[in-house]
């Protein structure tokens, strides 16, 4: 029995050490630009894919505006958006995808994923609504096209969202579908044209939401 306890303790200690040693990767090292103009979709996705393939780690964004279309979060990857950093959605609806719905950050069937930091995720909803209207008027887009959510996760496990501010959304910015072990902590629902709840959850298990804040609308 003592040997079993010792083995269990050693295993837990090893797992804790591995978690504490999660490697940081700077977004700029993957060619990601913070000028607010360059579309970083491919560069950010390449970084996420690489980090996940290495066994996981943290993709870190420092001060700046990072324009991007939809990015798919992969197992073991944490997005760290530091104070002064803004991840802003591309104004083109064609830059956004996701299943079961479009979202700036989406994932399906992934595990141990997180979005943390004191930075901002900006859904750029006004620009996207205008683009959808324009594309629909030209006959290029279906009138039923939805404005993307900020984060949409489907059938994911071990999900954490903490510290960030979510702004400029046209639907509940956090959407969880059949996810398990979800933690939403100290998230601020920032300024936006639409009055929306912080999140929408469908058939999720073991979900915790605490210490979140709501700011007034525009």
Contact (Cβ atoms closer than 8 angstroms) between residue 192 and residue 146: no
| pLDDT, tens only, 66-90 | 999 999 999 999 999 999 999 999 9
**Cis omega (within 30 of 0) for bond into 100:** yes
Q: How far is CA 45 from CA 42, 60, 112, 157, in A?
A: 5, 13, 17, 20
Alpha carbons 146 and 170: distance in angstroms, whole number = 9
At residue 126's C-alpha, the angle toward residues 125 and 128, to 5°, is 65
Residue spans per domain, the chain: 23-214
Q: Which of 79-83, 94-98, 179-183 is least confident?
A: 94-98
Query: Residue 44: which of 20, 21, 61, 24 has the closest Cα?
Result: 61
**CATH (residue range 23-214):** 2.160.20.10
Residue 127: phi and psi, rounded to 5, are: -65, -40
Residue 140: its pLDDT value, please? 75
Q: Coil, strand or helix: which one is 19?
A: helix
Residue 128: its pLDDT value, please? 95
At residue 35's C-alpha, the angle toward residues 103 and 78, to 5°, is 45
Report field, pTM of the whole predicted structure over 0.85: yes
| pLDDT, tens only, 27-79 | 999 999 999 999 999 999 999 999 999 999 999 999 999 999 999 999 999 99
Mean pLDDT of 89-116: 93
At residue 98's C-alpha, the angle toward residues 164 and 33, to 5°, is 55
Q: Coil, strand or helix: which one is 81?
A: strand
Q: Which residues contact 129 (CB under 8 A, 6 or more apart)?
A: 147, 170
């Amino acid at each position: 029995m003592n040997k079993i306890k010792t083995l269990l303790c050693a295993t837990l200690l090893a797992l804790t050490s591995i978690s504490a040693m999660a490697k940081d990767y700077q977004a700029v090292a993957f060619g990601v630009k913070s000028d607010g103009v360059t579309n970083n979709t491919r560069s950010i996705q390449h970084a996420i894919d690489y980090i996940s393939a290495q066994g996981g780690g943290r993709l870190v964004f420092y001060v700046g505006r990072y324009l991007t279309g939809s990015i798919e979060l992969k197992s073991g990857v944490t997005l760290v958006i530091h104070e002064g950093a803004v991840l802003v959605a591309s104004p083109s609806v064609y830059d956004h995808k996701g299943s079961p719905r479009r979202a700036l950050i989406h994932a399906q069937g992934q595990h141990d994923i997180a979005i943390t930091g004191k930075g901002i995720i900006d859904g750029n909803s006004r620009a996207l609504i205008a683009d959808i209207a324009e594309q629909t008027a030209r006959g290029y887009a279906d009138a039923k096209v939805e404005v993307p959510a900020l984060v949409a996760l489907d059938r994911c496990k071990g999900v954490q969202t903490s510290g960030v501010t979510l702004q400029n959304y046209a639907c509940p910015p956090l959407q969880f579908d059949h996810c398990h072990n979800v933690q939403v902590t100290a998230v601020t629902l920032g300024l936006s044209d639409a009055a929306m709840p912080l999140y929408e959850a469908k058939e999720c298990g073991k979900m915790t939401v605490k210490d979140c804040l709501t700011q007034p609308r525009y």
